[in-house]
Amino acid sequence: VQLQASGGGLVQAGGSLRLSCAASGRTFSNYRVGWFRQAPGKDREIVAGITTSGRRTYYTDSVEGRFTISGNTAKNMVYLQMNSLKPEDTAIYYCAAVRYLGGSYSWTSGGMDYWGKGTLVTVSS
C-alpha cells in the first residue's frame, strides 16, 4: 500500500483544514488508518485513527471535539477534518496504515506498516 497525504497549509488560529490520505496499490478495506503528527523537537504522536471496515474511531484528548476522521473505502481515501485549529496543532502530519482483521490493538507509530510522506500544517496565532 502506498499512501499520499495532502491538504496541509498555513491557517490562522481558529481556522480549519482538511487533510486527505490517498491509498494506492491495494484496496483500503480491512485496515487501520491513523493520522500522526510530529512537531519540532517532539516525538511523533497519534492524532486520530479509524478502522476502515467498522469505522471505529479514536482521537487523542487534545483534538477530541475539534478533529474528525472519516473514510471512503470506495475511493481509497481517509480524511482528517481539523476545526478550531490552535498554534499547538502545528506539526507535520502523516497518515499511516496497517492491515487489520480484528482483535485488540493500540495506536502507536511502531504498530503501523505503511507511511505516507508528511504534510505540513502551520497554525499562526
Instruction: Give the pLDDT band (50/70/90) at residue 92.
Output: very high
Instruction: Give the pLDDT band (50/70/90) at residue 102.
Output: confident
Half-sphere exposure of 69 (CA within 13 A, CB side): 23
pLDDT for 125? 94
Checking if the pLDDT of 53 tops 90, the result is no
DSSP 46-86: EEEEEETTT--EEE-GGGTTTEEEEEETTTTEEEEEE-S--
How high does pLDDT run on average in the chain? 94
pLDDT for 54? 76
